[in-house]
Amino acid sequence: MIHPSAIIDPEAQLGEGVDVGPFSVIGPKVTIGDRCSVSSHVQIASHVRMGKENRVFSFASIGAPPQDLKFKGENTWVEIGDGNTIREYVTVNRGTAHGGGVTRLGSQTLLMAYSHIAHDCQVGDRVVVANAATLAGHVEIGAGAIIGGLVGIHQFVRIGEFAMVGALSGVPQDVPPYVTAVVARPAKGPSLYGLNLIGLKRNKFSEEAIAALKQAYRILFRSGAPMSDALAKVDAEVQPLPEVRRLVDFIRSSKRGVLR
**120 part of the active site:** yes
**137 part of the active site:** yes
Rounded to whole angstroms, the Cα distance separating 185 from 2 reads 47
Q: Within 13 Å of residue 144, how many CA atoms lie on the same side as its CB?
A: 19
DSSP run (H or E) holding 231: helix 227-237
Instruction: Identify which of 35, 6, 42, 41 has the alpha carbon closest to the alpha carbon of residue 19.
Output: 35
From 68, 82, 120, 174, active-site residue: 120
In this structure, are residues 239 and 245 in contact, taking their beta carbons and an 8 Å threshold? no
Q: How far lies 247's CA from each of 93, 179, 226, 251, in Å?
A: 30, 10, 16, 6
From 21, 63, 95, 137, active-site residue: 137
Rounded to whole angstroms, the Cα distance separating 29 from 35 reads 19
**68 part of the active site:** no
From 47, 116, 119, 138, active-site residue: 119
DSSP run (H or E) holding 32: strand 30-32
Positions marked catalytic = 119-120, 137
